[in-house]
Homo-oligomer: A and B are copies of this chain.
Amino acid sequence: MRIAVVNCNTTAEMTSRICVSAASVARPGTVIEGVTPTWGVPAAEGFADSFRSAAAVLDAVAGLDVDGIVLAGFGEHGREGVRQLVEIPVVDITEAAVMFACLLGMDYGVVTSQPTAIGPIRQSLRAMGLYERCAGIRATGLPVLAIDTSGEEVVAAFLAQSEALLASGAETIVLGCAGANGIQDTLREKLGIPVVDGVRAAVSLCEDLIYQGLRTSKAGAFRMKPSL
Contact = CB atoms under 8 A, between A and B. Distances in A.
Contacts of A91: 103
Taken together, the copies of this chain in the complex come to 6
Contacts of A45: 225
A25 to B, nearest CB: 6
Interface string A48-86: 111110111010000000000000000001101111110
A221 B51 contact: no
- For chain A, the bracket of interface size reads 35 or more
Main secondary structure of the interface of A (DSSP, over half): helix
Contacts of A201: 208, 212
A166 B219 contact: yes
Nearest to A80: B47
B129 A49 contact: no
Contact of A103 (B95, B105, B127, B223): B95
A214 B48 contact: no
Contacts of A214: 100, 104, 194, 196
A205 B223 CA distance: 27
Interface of A: 25, 27, 45-52, 54-56, 58, 77-78, 80-85, 89-91, 95, 99-100, 102-107, 115-116, 118-120, 123, 126-130, 132-133, 166, 169-172, 192-194, 196, 200-201, 204-205, 208-209, 211-212, 214-223, 225, 228
8 contacts: A48-B82, A48-B84, A51-B51, A106-B222, A126-B127, A129-B129, A129-B130, A171-B222
Instruction: Please give me the 9 A-B residue pairs with the lowest Cβ-Cβ distance, nearest first.
Output: A119-B221, A55-B55, A105-B217, A204-B208, A47-B80, A51-B81, A171-B220, A48-B81, A51-B54
